[in-house]
Structure 1
């Protein structure tokens, strides 16, 4: 029998409601079956929903199960930030200096970073250049010349992203991908901005170095994610490691969808990469589950 459970809907990678990537957070997932979690996630019609549970691993402050339409994910970035925001807002207190989240990939650290939260990027499961056949296929699916893909790499950190860098942010924003060609692939596209200022920037601290877009298999063919933490984490590890990006930058994502997502990236003195962003609660109440 359903019961009322605390629930929040959080907009992530934005401090302004309805300009980021929304996330449904069921604050008490105890007793729910995997099938019930998946059914509710599909019903929300959002890119992800999460369910908070007591931790099972030593050192973890809470456990989260992350679902997207059709499947459970071992890790995802915007659900990590949004779930932590909701947990802290509901009175959660970390055991140590960092919040420690337990999820499918293991333990993920989060820290408060000014008015934002940031997570430590999990290790890449696979890196290195893509096969040339994949690059040619991606170029055809994106509708660009093969020569327009300047760099490419596996960006697999749970989600099996294939990352490509185009010549410019303008080229990234102009993409009209072919769903038939790219069917079944998770594609992350990044392009450098030629100028510091960006459309929709509210102040100098919002200046963006890159434009990012994320395409993945959806319920009705190819879908686009408004703002993607896992992809930006993997892109940062690749781009910074390859000398294609500075150790600290801001990426813009969601522009093509009318959003204004901002992803704050930094590599610390130990070499750890942190992915940060603001979150804001838009819905706060209960849900019958």
Structure 2
């Protein structure tokens, strides 16, 4: 039976991040078994570690939500890298991991904590008027509530929506009947006093019922894409912390940092919570 790990990602507080289920040595696991196990765990993502097919990669990763396979996702990338290292994996280059996944090769650094380099956006820029109107309707917002909106798609299909404040982000009550296939990421800034209290500059929410998860506790891919947009245009600084999961009683913290060359790094704490074996063919 393959080895199994469950890793809590993006929180230093036990059980208050975003869990990912990781199946090790999954080369003999079929697509159908992967999809079935992801539905069974019912976590936002379940991953499968495989031998790489690219000589530059340390391992290959497949990522499943309860509803479908994703080419890339952030918290599964960090959690799976943590699990691979904890199981004895040794990267070809000390301090650096290279993950092969549906989005291509993703680079991670291991110090001072695990962080991944944001992959290129597959789609960016403005939404069509029809899609924009649909997003606003799903959120129950008007044009005056929004400071910015654009595609932030690095695999899952995110639309980024910048609101006037972190409190406005927390106040949104989405109409799930109007989401359709929309995957919407909200972001708003705390004032200086609240930022010091919370320990984060911005509040983020990820709403994606089309992925089988109404609201994701902490989302690496979304934080990466939002940073590419908002650090890129000067709205946010080159280094900040994002809070996520507040309304779900989580304490998610994503650490974002931009290199001088424009590379965005997204990292956070990772902790193994469950280890064992999994029977996928019983």
Give me the TM-score of the superposition, normalised by structure 2. 0.95
* Pair 1:174 & 2:166 matched: no
- Does structure 1 conserve the Cα–Cα contact (< 8 Å) formed by 2:117 and 2:263? yes
- Does structure 1 conserve the Cα–Cα contact (< 8 Å) formed by 2:195 and 2:202? no
- Does structure 2 conserve the Cα–Cα contact (< 8 Å) formed by 1:54 and 1:62? yes
Deviation sequence 1:166-187 (CA, Å, 0-9, x none): 1110011111100112221100
C-alpha distance in 1, partners of 2:193/2:82?
Answer: 29
Residue of 24, 28, 32 corresponding to 2:25: 28
C-alpha distance in 1, partners of 2:177/2:146?
Answer: 20
C-alpha distance in 2, partners of 1:160/1:30?
Answer: 27
- Residue 15 of structure 1 corresponds to which residue in structure 2? 12
> Which secondary structure state, in structure 2, belongs to the residue aligned with residue 151 of structure 1?
strand
C-alpha distance in 2, partners of 1:232/1:151?
Answer: 16
Residue of 166, 177, 202 corresponding to 1:210: 202
1:217 deviates by 2.3
- Does structure 2 conserve the Cα–Cα contact (< 8 Å) formed by 1:196 and 1:208? no
* Pair 1:92 & 2:89 matched: yes
Give runs of aligned pairs for residues 117-128 of structure 1, distance below 5 A. 117-128=114-125
C-alpha distance in 1, partners of 2:202/2:249?
Answer: 17
1:27 deviates by 1.0
- Does structure 2 conserve the Cα–Cα contact (< 8 Å) formed by 1:16 and 1:280? no
1:134 deviates by 2.3
> Which secondary structure state, in structure 2, belongs to the residue aligned with residue 130 of structure 1?
coil
- Residue 151 of structure 1 corresponds to which residue in structure 2? 148
* Pair 1:113 & 2:111 matched: yes
- Does structure 2 conserve the Cα–Cα contact (< 8 Å) formed by 1:15 and 1:278? yes
- Does structure 1 conserve the Cα–Cα contact (< 8 Å) formed by 2:65 and 2:211? no
> Which secondary structure state, in structure 1, belongs to the residue aligned with residue 155 of structure 2?
coil
1:200 deviates by 7.8
- Residue 66 of structure 1 corresponds to which residue in structure 2? 63
1:133 deviates by 2.8
C-alpha distance in 1, partners of 2:247/2:98?
Answer: 33
C-alpha distance in 1, partners of 2:109/2:74?
Answer: 14
> Which secondary structure state, in structure 2, belongs to the residue aligned with residue 241 of structure 1?
coil
C-alpha distance in 1, partners of 2:223/2:193?
Answer: 19
Residue of 130, 134, 142 corresponding to 2:127: 130
> Which secondary structure state, in structure 2, belongs to the residue aligned with residue 288 of structure 1?
coil
Deviation sequence 1:187-215 (CA, Å, 0-9, x none): 011011113545984xxxxx211100011
Residue of 255, 263, 273 corresponding to 1:264: 255
Paired residue total: 279
| 5+ residue gaps, structure 2 | none
Residue of 220, 223, 229 corresponding to 1:238: 229
> Which secondary structure state, in structure 2, belongs to the residue aligned with residue 43 of structure 1?
helix
1:145 deviates by 2.1
